[in-house]
Homo-oligomer: A and B are copies of this chain.
């Protein structure tokens, strides 16, 4: 049996979960791996609050830098969050030759390149399973089980808050605002909720997945991002009627050598497995050129699930350190090439759901259809609903595949029509074909 002495920075929700998990199953982990995890130090600015887990005397400190500098500490677990001191701590630990385990997706999305390069220069590892998909071992699947695969596509439901809101809107027919308010009351959504509902959190995770899939740090600017804020109940109802559900998806594809990347709400077929991922669960679908379709599902957030991922990384980092592995695959895979080519978002080819609001008079539809035709957009189906008391009729169009630039030009032209009485609503339709 060998000991590994751990310094934890940040004693919040996840930090307390990690400590609880190691207290509970540390002996089992040692039995399985031959490595005994020892929590040597925990640093937090607030060491007075009760975190719901017992900690031996002398372990708590307010001085994170002293933990990093402590020669008796073998590895650092960064759970501070944010991108300022977390960055400083992470870089400092790496420079001192200490492996770092982190759950910090924002840090890696914003400063990944600097961090991976520092790790490589220092010959040490950084491990970040918990940054994507909470307890789901998705990055490990990518960098180990699927290592022989060229990644063709990844679809992720990566934000539990959004998936919870969408599930309740769908099941209960409630409007976005009231479900959001409820989710905040129940602790499923933060206040303010922007990072989640505007898709930023999903985009953080998407760029990490894309970086690992294609071998270079992907900047946030390469990921067009749209969240679910203000999604109308009407869209949910229409999707349901047409045999679809709406999910906030991270979409990553190898588009003939260019990386296609986006975060957006999308209609997905009800019979596809992605549609059955409900409540606050996350899931990631990975298609490899050898393995074909695979899927990974679990809790994407929370004290214990995220703690589980951090603990998995701690044990791997410990084994790597004891075996003097040096630069692990979690670093080398991020630095295969200097930069990637991205598919400009205007070139993305996709299907769309479009809801129009047309004056209910002869020729309205013909004008719209002419615009679609001019932009090479084929129609898969059209449903015209009975007109509102207002005299306007909602029209729902599902298209075949067409180019984003054609869609946006067509939308502008349709909006400018005299018979169009409110801006069209458009969402991607992803049939996984």
Q: Decide: B21 and A148 in contact? CB cutoff 8 A.
A: yes
Nearest Cβ distance between residue A321 and chain B, in whole angstroms?
11
Q: State the number of copies, please.
A: 2
CA distance A317 to B407 in the complex (A): 49
CA distance A201 to B297 in the complex (A): 25
Among A277, A299, A323, A327: residue with most chain B CB under 10 A: A323
Contact residues on A (Cβ < 8 Å of other chain), bracket? 35 or more
| In the complex, chain B residues whose CB is within 8 Å of the CB of A336 | 31-32
Q: Which of A124-148 contact B (CB under 8 A)?
A: 129, 135-137, 140-141, 143-148
| In the complex, chain B residues whose CB is within 8 Å of the CB of A305 | 290-292
The answer to whether the Cβ of A34 comes within 8 Å of any Cβ in the partner chain is yes
The answer to whether the Cβ of A288 comes within 8 Å of any Cβ in the partner chain is yes
What 0/1 pattern do residues 317 to 357 of A give for CB contact below 8 A with B?
00100011101010011001000000000000000000000
The answer to whether the Cβ of A150 comes within 8 Å of any Cβ in the partner chain is yes
Nearest Cβ distance between residue A24 and chain B, in whole angstroms?
7
The answer to whether the Cβ of A195 comes within 8 Å of any Cβ in the partner chain is no
The answer to whether the Cβ of A316 comes within 8 Å of any Cβ in the partner chain is yes
Among A281, A291, A315, A325: residue with most chain B CB under 10 A: A291
Q: 17 new A-B pairs (CB below 8 Å) besides A136-B294, A140-B141, A273-B277? A: A24-B289, A25-B149, A25-B290, A32-B329, A34-B327, A137-B140, A137-B294, A146-B308, A147-B315, A273-B276, A290-B305, A290-B307, A292-B299, A295-B296, A295-B297, A323-B324, A323-B325
